[in-house]
Structure 1
Amino acid sequence: MEKIKLALLDDDYLIVTLLKSFFEQHPRLQVVFDTTDGYELFTFLEKSPAAIDVLLLDLKMKTIDGLEVLKHVKTHCPDIKVIVVSSHYQDHTIGFMTKEGVAGFLPKGISPFELTEIIQHVHKNGFYLNKDQMDVLREQISPKVAKPCLESEDALTEREIEIVKLLCHQKTAKEIGELLFITQRTVEGHKNNVFSKIGVRNVAGLIIYALQKQIVTLEELALH
């Protein structure tokens, strides 16, 4: 099985070293780049933009702010899934981090074993939200949000709504195609149309939209 290519960025050299050593013992993970300096990551990405699958990113660093690194990566290498692991983790910023395109937002005290499982989950599904985070997101969604207008030109079709539900349930394009008896390419086309219609850039944004529009419920999506 192909390994998940990891990059580590944290200004604490000890953390980088320990995580690298830990991950390299796992048969599915390969640390292809590690640094304590965000600018070194930019240089690496200029030469090898497709070399990284998942980036573990700290927020507060000496040379450059983690949010600036996130913005750069999402702009220049949008296929890289970014998991923010920070000592500045706070519930009230989960919505902001999700909106900014992170694939996961975790506290720094997380177990490396749990982190390994989350990395694999993110690589397969594109994002990670646990039940507590889903509860927080629901609280951060305005209760005054409008219901979908089905007569709008931009209204989702029945097939698109079907695909939205399956994406929210973390199904891959291949799995959706098999369930709906359509090609993976057709699924990707529907997915891109949906993203364009509702103005989101990733599955995490899609989940927030689907919750707001009551296409899915929190109870249906909660991870156990």
Structure 2
Amino acid sequence: MKIKIGIVDDDLLFVQLLKNYLENDARYEVVLTAKSGNAYLQEARIPLDVLILDLRMSDGDGLEVLSGLSALQNEIKVIVLSSFYRRSFMGHMLKMGVHAFLPKEIELDELSEVIHAVHLKGHYFSNEQVDVMRGQLSNKLPQFHAYSKDDLTEREVDIIRLICQQQSTREIAESLFISPKTVETHKTNLMIKISVKNMAGLVIYAVQNGIVDAAEIVLFDK
């Protein structure tokens, strides 16, 4: 099945060019476009796999969209693609539930592969972003989760470690000799248990609780 994509950006020419490019890739289908955050939120219940979202828009910006999706408990994977890109914003983007944060100057073929990685793995970090996060996720950060690593089962800890090694659901299942469905069940239970919204949240949790060292996080290949 094709990956269903939505694009929210007030640059109509950019939207059309990106839509045309992605639809030439057999993996993707652009099923929704919107020129503002508010226009998208009116259609936010349309099923999507990945949402490509601009930050700065006049009628409802990207942050409003992220807040709206959170209120709707929508599990769409969000890629923020913005000319207002700053590496230092990475931590805030993760807290807002973003699965990838990219500059608008990115090459189209690289963006295409990021979309596929986010859909498959749950999140995407560039080498530079991981370096920034290593600085932001120091041991001095407060432990704000209701559960610590001591409250997790051995299997749950194993799964978090493998997620940090960039393993897909299928690869985790093979590593632990369990079914992919069981892996997905563990992932869902973990996110509920430690109050995070996505795989990026699990990675942050793992670093904060000493399950993995920040230097051990496996980088995504470009």
Same fold (TM over 0.5): yes
Q: SS at the partner of 1:164?
A: helix
Distance 1:220 1:170 in 2: 8
Q: What SS class does the counterpart of residue 160 from structure 1 fall into?
A: helix
1:131 matched residue in structure 2? 127
How far 1:146 moved relative to its partner? Answer: 7.2
Q: In 2, Cα distance between the equivalents of 1:153 and 1:121?
A: 27
1:209 to 205, 208, 214: 205
Check conservation: 1:74, 1:80, Cα contact below 8 A.
no
- Matches of residues 14-163 of structure 1 in structure 2 within 5 Å? 14-46=13-45, 48=46, 50=47, 52-76=48-72, 78-145=74-141, 155-163=151-159
CA distance in 2, matches of 1:212, 1:34: 37
1:171-212: CA deviations, max 9, x gaps?
333432232122334323332332233322211011111122
Extract unaligned runs of 5+ from structure 1. Answer: none
Tell me if the contact between 1:154 and 1:197 (Cα under 8 Å) persists in the aligned partners: no
1:222 corresponds to: 219
1:26-83 CA-to-partner distances (Å, cap 9, x unmatched) read 111111111212222222234x3x2x11110000101112100111123325221110
- Which one has the largest radius of gyration? 1
- Flag structure 2 segments of 5+ consecutive residues without an equivalent: none
Instruction: Measure how far apart 1:112 and its partner are.
Output: 0.9
What root-mean-square deviation, in Å, do the aligned CA atoms of Structure 1 and Structure 2 show?
Answer: 2.1
Query: Normalising by structure 1, what TM-score?
Result: 0.87
TM-superposed CA distance for 1:16, in Å, is 0.7
TM-score, normalization: structure 2? 0.88
Q: Which moved more, 1:195-204 or 1:127-136?
A: 195-204
Q: 2: CA distance between counterparts of 1:193 and 1:18?
A: 40
Identity %: 46
Asked if the contact 1:6/1:54 (under 8 Å) is kept, the reply is yes
How many corresponding residue pairs? 216
State the distance in 1 between where 2:55 and 2:199 align. 22
When residues 153 and 21 of structure 1 are mapped into structure 2, their CA distance, relative to the original with a 3 A threshold, is closer
How far is 1:165 from its partner?
Answer: 0.8
